């Protein structure tokens, strides 16, 4: 167990940071990936070591195939194996869904490059190593993929594409590698505060908590525990979407 290795893309912040720490607490060796935030990623790697694991921070832009291959190679160079891949890195543009002119083709292309093509490239680069260890992949999607809400139309569509991509890969990678999807609802992370701004963030958060059947937003730790289960447990589960959203995906349609 102490030998197992996981790559967490976008591990320097929010949900990815919580996943990296949770896996370290469980004795995993963690590759904390980031694209820009070097100091933050190195801080998370240090915290992983303090939590009982081993960790390295590795810069790679998941939109670049060469970076994806180098990221997988960094894990193999360091520890000689790979047991799990969490495609958590993501991006968006906050644009009201009614504001059609607020989204350009370039916005779609940038968002798809990171949210859809990135996980594909990471899965392709990691597949040979994951097949050897009978490993697991978790792709971090969003409630937005199901209810077509969230920060923008381009974002919701990209996460729906990620769900479909995950189903294809679950079939393609079986029987050696399981591929599942985590679909968070509203999670308290820098993504939300930066995207909405403090005032609107508080309003959106409150509305979500009122509508969600479980009457609260979620925390990064809720997401991390679900990811850990999909990786370490869930032995006969593949091609599945797990909503960790306070029940929001079954909220009354009249209220959404």
The Cα-based distances of 74 to 70, 81, 137, 170 in angstroms read 6, 10, 18, 25
- We find the least distance from the C-beta atom of residue 208 to ligand NAP, in angstroms, to be 9
CB of 79 to ligand NAP, least distance (A): 20
Strand-pairing partners, residue 86, are 8, 138
Please, how many CA atoms are within 13 Å of residue 97, restricted to the half-sphere of its CB? Answer: 10
> 3-state DSSP call for residue 154?
helix
Least spacing, CB of residue 89 vs ligand NAP, in Å: 3
Give me the residues that bind ligand NAP (CB under 6 A), please.
Answer: 9-10, 12-16, 33-37, 61-63, 88-91, 114, 140, 142, 184, 186-187, 189-192
Q: How far is the CB of 237 from ligand NAP (least distance, A)?
A: 20
Is 243 catalytic? The answer is no
Instruction: Count the Cβ atoms, other than its own, within 10 Å of residue 133.
Output: 16
- In the bound state with ligand NAP, the residue whose beta carbon lies nearer, of 53 and 150, is 150
Which of the following is catalytic: 34, 112, 155, 208? Answer: 155
By beta-carbon proximity to ligand NAP, the closer residue of 62 and 177 is 62
58 membership: H or E segment, kind and range: strand 54-59
Q: N- to C-terminal Cα distance for the chain?
A: 43
**Nearer Cβ to ligand NAP, position 101 or 199?**
199
- CB-nearer residue toward ligand NAP: 136 or 227: 227
**Any idea which residues carry the catalytic annotation?**
155
């Amino acid at each position: 167990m102490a030998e197992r290795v996981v790559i967490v893309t976008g591990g320097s912040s929010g949900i990815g940071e919580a996943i990296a720490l949770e896996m370290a607490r469980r004795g995993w060796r963690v590759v904390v990936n980031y694209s820009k935030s070097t100091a933050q990623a190195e801080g998370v790697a240090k915290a992983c070591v303090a939590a009982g694991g081993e960790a390295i921070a590795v810069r790679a832009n998941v939109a670049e195939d060469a970076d994806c291959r180098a990221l997988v190679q960094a894990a193999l160079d360091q520890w000689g194996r790979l047991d799990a891949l969490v495609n958590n890195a993501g991006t968006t543009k906050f644009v009201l869904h009614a504001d059609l002119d607020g989204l350009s083709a370039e916005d779609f292309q940038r968002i798809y490059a990171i949210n859809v093509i990135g996980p594909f490239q990471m899965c392709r680069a990691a597949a040979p190593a994951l097949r050897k260890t009978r490993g697991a992949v978790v792709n971090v999607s969003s409630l937005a993929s199901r209810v077509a809400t969230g920060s923008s139309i381009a974002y919701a569509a990209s996460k729906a594409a990620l769900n479909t991509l995950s189903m294809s890969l679950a079939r393609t990678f079986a029987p050696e590698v399981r591929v599942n999807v985590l679909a968070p609802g509203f999670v308290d992370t820098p993504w939300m505060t930066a995207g909405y701004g403090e005032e609107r963030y508080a309003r959106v958060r409150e509305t979500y908590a009122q509508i969600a059947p479980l009457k609260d937003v979620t925390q990064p730790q809720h997401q991390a525990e679900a990811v850990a289960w999909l990786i370490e447990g869930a032995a006969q589960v593949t091609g599945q979407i797990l909503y960790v959203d306070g029940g929001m995906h079954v909220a009354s349609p009249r209220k959404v």
